Amino acid sequence: MGFRPKHTAFTHLVARRISYIEGDMLINLVSYNRDTNALEVTITEGGVVRTDTAFPFAHLPKKVKQQLNPLQ
């Protein structure tokens, strides 16, 4: 039998440095929760940085979704 690590619901994305620009906002992905299909992101707008913990996965551009590949 061997040791099988338990899969966590969260995937940390900080090391992958995935970001994109939408309008005048720079959105950086921090982590992805597979259970709720939501992301934690930091949004930089006009020099002000805020954190959103319930950013919907569906609001991401198609190219960013392909980089995440949530099926794995």
pLDDT digits over 32-72, tens only?
Answer: 888 888 999 999 999 999 999 999 999 999 999 888 875 55
* Domain count along the chain: 1
In this structure, is residue 1 part of a structural domain? no
Report the distance separating Cα 55 and Cα 67, nearest Å: 17
Q: Are 44 and 30 in contact (CB under 8 A)?
A: no
In this structure, is residue 67 part of a structural domain? no
Which has more confidence, 20 or 12?
20
Tell me the residue range of the domain where 14 lies. 10-57
Q: Within a 13 Å sphere around the CA of 27, how many CA atoms are in the beta-carbon half?
A: 20
In this structure, is residue 69 part of a structural domain? no
In this structure, is residue 70 part of a structural domain? no
In this structure, is residue 17 part of a structural domain? yes
